[in-house]
Amino acid sequence: MAVAKRLGWSLLIVALLLGVLAWWGTKANAQSPDRATTLIVPYTEYEFWLLRWSDNEILCRILIDHEGLPTAEEVAGACGADIGDEWSNTPPCTTSEKGAAASRCNGFYLHLVSFQETEREVIVELPPPTAWISLDGCQPVPPENRCFEIPKLLLTGEEPLPNETITSIEGIIDGHPFLCEADTCSLPLRVTPREGIRLEFWANSSFGDATERYFAQVRVLDTGVSEAPGSSGWYVDIISSQWSGPPIASCARIWEAFPPAGTPPAWLSTPDQNQLLATNEPYYYLAGRLIAQGLVDASACTSGGLLPNGYADACGLESANTLVTEWQNQFDSRIIDVAQETGVPAQLMKNLFAQESQFWPGIFRVPREYGLGQITDNGADSILLWNRSFFQQFCPLVLTEEACSGGYLKLSSDNQAMLRGALAFEAKSDCGDCPTGIDLTNVDFSVHLFAETLKANCQQVGQLVFTATQQHAGVVSGYEDLWRFTIANYHAGPGCVSYALHTAWERSGVLSWDEVSRQFTETCQGVVPYVEKIAPLNVPLVEPALTESPPEEP
């Protein structure tokens, strides 16, 4: 009796504890409920038996929800791996063996027993709430992002569920907390330091949960001009994944680095007219290709206007001058369009194409380098690894979605090589049947590919800087110099750049181009003039890349 009484008290205590735990669980769920709902879905259920040929013994029961036989995975799941393997290796029982002689057959067979219409519960994830950031009182136009009055920050919450609402928005701006009991929140701004101020914000939902915590960098600078009419005001820049205003300068969000206030340097600009991107440079390599393809008649020149290495000589360049000018500017419209789509500066791309190929996208000087930007196997590797959005779009065009789902690093080495080869094929512009020897329609893809490749290099450089310093790139370096590191990474690879970054940081604690460029090893030193032709140091681009005199035969 005493034992029964003690057992009764024990059961009561356990019941009370379970009740408390259940209450806390309910409370916790009320604070942060799962965004899911249960749907009742009708389907047809098919019942199979797996039997042994020799004695018709029923080994297991298999239920499936599709027409046809169960798959090997379904058999193994219902019957066990050993039986599943034996079933997969069971040879067919021929017609002559069936009937009385079927017992002589080896292995197992499937028999459809029944099928019926039924229902099941399906858990469906519901879309989460989100929040966005914009400006109230000004719509700044890139690249200057100038406002004539200091605007307010406008935070807006969105609740996708029809019967729920955003109840409040809260956060911390420059170390000060704020709370707005509505689905919008207007925050006054003032002039900030040049590095800007940090904003953290989130929105709360009547569903009982909240958005993820978002972050933004906010900068407001006085233009410093008051005398000239129409030039006064403030430069206002926002860096955030939730920014809903005009496009942010490319790679600024990756690095968390503000671009130069006001008008950017020429090499980081994107003009809105083709004429402003046009050049008239004497490209000897391009002239040589045009002569070799029969597009220019240089028969009046000694040796047909060509040097032994395939470049034009002075006479060949003079003969090809008109077409050289036309050719180097025919891609300008596409470059500007891609710059506006991706945020990669148009002038930077044109400078890079001049340096890499002199606008001849075919293979000649270096085998296995393709397109205007001369992409290599390593370059293809970089874009597929570091530009996830591009990988997600491109990979399913070559491999199955299942193979692509784990990302580039999860692919087998064969599949990685297949992807790189497909990318190189898309970038390749050589065309034996085309009048110019180049498929000019393919160059459109080529321009977009190189913009996405540069964005991948931005991402990689951000990681290299963080690895060297344990700080975000925008904290320890400037926007212009981060672009210079990116161009260096594109040309020389992460080995050269990583060593220079680590060495500069260890020796000086400074990651400026001036400091980092002195730390490249002897093998990598060639990247310095390459970068400074594309991204000149505080001087106008007087002599674009590859405007050299006719090169001597090596």
Which one-letter amino acid corresponds to residue 292?
A
CA 89 – CA 106 distance, rounded (Å) = 10
Instruction: Report pLDDT digits (tens) over 196-253.
Output: 999 999 999 999 999 999 999 999 999 876 555 555 799 999 999 999 988 888 899 9
**Angle at CA of residue 313, ends 310 and 319, nearest 5°:** 105
> Does 288 lie in the same domain as 235?
no
Greater confidence (17 vs 253) lies with 253
pLDDT at 491: 93
Residue 215 is part of a domain; what is its CATH number? 2.60.40
Q: Tell me: do 45 and 170 sit in the same domain.
A: no
Predicted confidence at residue 436, as pLDDT, reads 82
Q: 452 is in which domain, residue-wise?
A: 274-534
**Is residue 354 in a domain?**
yes
Q: Tell me the three state secondary structure of residue 184.
A: strand
pLDDT value of position 101 = 59
User: Residue 273's closest CA among 328, 325, 324, 337?
Assistant: 337
125 exposed, middle or buried (CB, 10 Å; 0-12, 13-18, 19+)?
Answer: exposed
Q: Which pLDDT band, with edges at 50, 70 and 90, does 258 fall under?
A: very high
Q: What is the mean pLDDT of residues 394-408?
A: 92
- The yes-or-no verdict on residue 140 having pLDDT over 70 is yes
> Residue 387 carries which DSSP code?
-
| Statement to judge: residues 290 and 376 lie in one domain | yes
Evaluate whether 394 touches 427 at the Cβ level (below 8 Å): no
For the purposes of burial, counting CB atoms within 10 Å of the CB of 474, is it exposed (0-12), middle (13-18) or buried (19 or more)? buried
- Flag whether 19 is in a domain: no
Does pLDDT of 480 surpass 60? yes
Pair 198, 80 in one domain: no
- Residue 159 and residue 205 in contact, taking contact as beta carbons nearer than 8 Å: yes
**CA distances to 7, 16, 32, 333 from 10, in Å:** 5, 10, 33, 81
In a domain, 26, yes or no: no
Flag whether pLDDT at 263 surpasses 90: no
Say if CB 112 and CB 47 are below 8 A apart: yes
Distance of alpha carbon 356 from alpha carbon 501, whole angstroms: 24
Query: How many Å apart are CA 18 and CA 501, to the nearest integer?
Result: 58
Close Cβ partners of 248 (under 8 Å, ≥ 6 residues apart):
238, 239, 343
Q: Residue 134 — very low, low, confident or very high, per pLDDT cuts 50/70/90?
A: very high
pTM value > 0.75:
yes
DSSP-derived letter for residue 176 is E
pLDDT at 31 over 80: no
The answer, yes or no, to whether residue 507 has pLDDT greater than 70, is: yes
Question: Stretch 33-44: mean pLDDT, rounded?
Answer: 88
* Mean pLDDT calculated for residue range 262-266: 89
> Are 349 and 455 in the same domain?
yes
Task: Dump pLDDT digits (tens) for 148-183.
Answer: 999 999 999 999 999 999 999 999 999 999 999 999
H or E segment at 355?
helix 346-357
Amino acid occupying residue 322? T
Instruction: Evaluate whether 169 touches 130 at the Cβ level (below 8 Å).
Output: no
User: Is 549 a member of any domain?
Assistant: no
Segment among 27-31, 325-329, 456-460 with least mean pLDDT = 27-31
361 and 443 in a single domain? The answer is yes
Q: What is the 3-state secondary structure (H, E, C) of 397-423?
A: HCCCHHHHCCCHHHCCHHHHHHHHHHH
- Answer yes or no: do 106 and 182 share one domain: no
Q: Any idea which of 120-129, 315-324, 454-463 has the lowest mean pLDDT?
A: 120-129
Q: Give the whole-angstrom CA distance, residue 467 versus residue 472.
A: 9
What residue has token string 């858990």? 123
Which tens digit of pLDDT belongs to each residue from 291-309? Answer: 999 999 999 998 999 999 9
pLDDT(46) > 50? yes
Largest CA distance in the chain: 122
Determine, yes or no, domain membership for 236.
yes
Strands (DSSP E) found in 53-151: 58-64, 108-125, 130-136, 146-147
Cα separation, 56 vs 39, in Å, equals 40
Mean pLDDT of 458-487: 96
Q: Are residues 227 and 302 in the same domain?
A: no
Same domain, 164 and 306: no
111: closest CA among 50, 45, 44? 50
Nearest 5°: CA angle at 160, between 158 and 165? 60
Nearest-angstrom CA–CA distance, 44 and 66: 7
Report how many domains make up the chain.
Answer: 3
In this predicted structure, the answer to whether residue 543 has a pLDDT above a threshold of 70 is no
204 contacts 167 by C-beta, under 8 angstroms: yes
Residue 505: inside a domain, yes or no?
yes
Cα–Cα–Cα angle for 69, 71, 74, rounded to 5 degrees: 115
Distance (Å, rounded) from C-alpha 153 to C-alpha 189?
Answer: 7
Let me know if residue 434 belongs to a domain. yes
**Residue whose token pair is 């669980």:** 25
Do 327 and 458 fall within a single domain?
yes
CB-CB neighbours of 528 under 10 Å = 18
Tell me the average pLDDT of the chain: 86
pLDDT digits (tens, 9 = 90+) for 424-447: 888 888 887 888 888 888 788 889
Q: Is residue 84 part of a domain?
A: yes
Residue 226: what pLDDT?
58
User: Which distant-in-sequence residues (6+ apart) come within 8 Å of 119 by Cβ?
Assistant: 40, 41, 42, 43
Q: Quote the Cα angle for 458-460-464, to 5°.
A: 115
Counting Cα atoms < 13 Å in the Cβ hemisphere of 408 gives 21
pLDDT digits (tens, 9 = 90+) for 47-106: 999 999 888 899 999 999 999 999 999 999 999 999 989 888 888 887 554 455 566 788
Query: Do 444 and 514 share a structural domain?
Result: yes
Do 173 and 312 lie in one domain? The reply is: no
User: Do 436 and 362 meet the contact criterion of CB atoms below 8 Å apart?
Assistant: no
The band of 312, judged by pLDDT with boundaries at 50, 70 and 90, is very high
